[in-house]
Amino acid sequence: MVAPEVTAIIPVFNDRPALERAIPVSIEVLAQVTDKFEVIVAEDGSTDGSTAFVREYEKISSRIRLLHNDERLGRGTALNRAIREAQGSIVCYYDVDLATDMQHLPELIGAIRSGADIATGSRLLPESDIRRTEGREIASRSYNFLVRRILGSRLFDHQCGFKAFNKVKILPILSTIRSNHWFWDTELLVRAQRKGYTVTEFPVRWRAGKRTTVRVKDVFGMGSSILRLWWQIHVSKD
């Protein structure tokens, strides 16, 4: 079997209904980008039948692979594992609810093909087309402002679940990341920029999903994670 050029990762935790749409849409859109691709479902301790659903899909399509955790280890941990096991030279991931319009996938993959080490969709650029509650908008802009201010990032949106990587370049960064959950995205982007990696950020069309697994304590935890990462970088020199 010819090795895939692109590996698409879908992180999942109790997302059976969303998976029923995400998998066939992924196959359809990826086929427009390349004929050499695979889809890894990074399933993190689900109890809603997500695991069984993906296993049935594996029987239908050889392009689908399940990476299952018996217990929840965290979104970041699931992504780390999936990226390491990806066969593609280009690795991307996106949220299972497809909140970011999949019309942007060719641009995401194209940025890596054109030489970027990392590409990321952004909900916070002037050209971005987003729809979500005012409260979430304020929280997101405040959070990203703090990341830019405290951690020196040049990017505008660190948490958009729509990213791609040059696998060879990103592997060394994975071993330095300490966050195992939602802050993983931010930590990866900050550490990559500090290493001089080329990061392409582009505007996307984004619609908030009907269901979110980000809880209030996750938001507070991510705030404290900003300060923790600053300490690791500037004091511990990690």
Stated pTM of the model = 0.93
33-42, 68-77, 201-210, 215-224: which range is least confident on average? 215-224
CA distance 142 to 139: 5
Q: Is the pLDDT of residue 214 over 60?
A: no
Is the pLDDT assigned to residue 169 strictly greater than 80?
Answer: yes
| Residue 224 β-bridge partners | none
* Residue 49 tokens, joined: 């039948």
Instruction: With a cut of 60, say whether residue 213 has pLDDT above it.
Output: no
| pLDDT of 238 strictly over 90 | no
Residue 211, helix vs strand vs coil:
coil
Q: Give domain limits for the chain.
A: 6-234
- With bands split at pLDDT 50, 70 and 90, how would you rate the model's confidence at 138? confident
The average pLDDT across 198-224 equals 76
Asked whether the predicted pLDDT for residue 120 surpasses 70, the reply is yes
Confidence class of residue 195 from pLDDT cuts 50, 70 and 90?
very high
**Region at 45 (left for phi over 0; alpha for psi -120 to 50; beta for the rest):** left
Residue 122 has which token pair? 């952004």
Q: Active site includes 185?
A: yes
Given the residues 95, 97, 117, 185, select the one marked as catalytic: 185
Q: How confident is the model at residue 139 (pLDDT cuts 50, 70, 90)?
A: confident
Mean pLDDT in the chain?
93
Closest CA to 144 of 129, 125, 170, 162: 125
> Is the confidence at residue 230, as pLDDT, over 90?
yes
| Angle of CA points 203, 207, 209, to nearest 5° | 135
State pLDDT tens for residues 26-73: 999 999 999 999 999 999 999 999 999 999 999 999 999 999 999 999
Q: Write the burial class of residue 110 (CB in 10 Å: 0-12 exposed, 13-18 middle, 19+ buried).
A: middle
Architecture field, domain 6-234: Alpha-Beta Complex (3.90)
Question: Using 50, 70 and 90 to split pLDDT, how confident is the model at 22?
Answer: very high
